[in-house]
Amino acid sequence: MEMSAIRELAAEDMKAVDALILHRLQSDVVLINQVGHYIINSGGKRLRPMIVLLAARALGYQGKEHVDLAAVIEFIHTATLLHDDVVDESDMRRNRDTANAVWGNAASVLVGDFLYTRSFEMMVDINRMRVMEVLARATNLIAEGEVLQLLNCNDPDTTEEKYREVILRKTATLFEAGARLGAVLADATPEQEQAIADYGLHLGIAFQIIDDALDYSTSSEEIGKNIGDDLEEGKPTLPILRAMQVGTPEQRATLREIIEKGGREHIQTVMAAIESTDAIEYTARLAAEEADKAKQALEAVPESPFRDALAALADFSVRRRS
């Protein structure tokens, strides 16, 4: 199933999500409207809310609250982007200036806070304690992941295990929560809920691993990223960790020094080390393994076009170029 077919399958629900997002984004504070609309309309894939919609439908849900929870997931994700760009001092995302580059750090952080609090208002409207439990845990884990990533910055002794712990919390947790919420709404069995949550978790890990590989892709600038953004911030992501693990002593020493200092001026040296150690191929292989685990988890879900779409999203997560 191609991405276009997946979007067509979810089109009606996604249209309702987009309308709800615009409605719940409204505030009588003008700056919130400006920043909120800027980041929400910046060309994101809406992958996380789509997972909520497809998971709920795959488990037989026929109501409307999956639309509300899909919007909640997108608000939480958008809030993390606003905060991330401030922490990372980023100036470009998806071929556009970041909100902090346009309005400043203070506005970005505060509008991010607004999106978090608005999402919790919407959770309360659902009036299901299990929904609150899932999302409260997820947002807490995301915050922990951000702090763990901060601790890993400029640390050349970061291990692959530490790296995986960061992406599990920072990225995969929200994928997991979105899929689990679909099961909660559908009153799925505990086994089905855990299976589809596992699907979301492995999908999120695969998605982030590929995202980190794309940071060292020559197509990065075509998709709105600077090559080596992670390197400039001193983030030891999987391609660099692999190059350090199997590279020559000289390469390891050079990469250690570059991670400690950060900066993009040594990007060609890093790219050469990554290419000579097949670090991108290694990274892609691990992402593919996670995507396979995601698809295996779907075996507990009844056959339907919605389950097929979820499986296709796992394939898309490792084939994507942006």
- All structural domains of the chain: 3-319 (1.10.600.10)
Say what the pTM is: 0.93
Residue 45, CB-side half-sphere exposure with 13 Å CA sphere: 15
pLDDT at 225: 53
Looking at every residue in the chain, the average pLDDT score rounds to 91
3-state SS record for 11-47: HHHHHHHHHHHHHHCCCCCHHHHHHHHHHHCCCCCCH
pLDDT at 215: 86
What is the residue type of 101?
A
Give the Cα separation of 212 and 149 in Å (integer): 13
Reported as a single tens digit per residue, the pLDDT across 233-271 is 888 999 999 999 999 999 999 899 889 987 777 788 889
**How confident is residue 224, by pLDDT bands cut at 50, 70 and 90?**
very low
Between 125-129, 177-181, 212-216, 297-301, the lowest mean confidence (pLDDT) is in: 212-216
Give the Cα separation of 255 and 259 in Å (integer): 6
Token couple for 183: 């099961």
Give the Cα separation of 152 and 237 in Å (integer): 10
Token couple for 166: 């960061």
Give kind and range of the element (H or E) at residue 152: helix 129-152
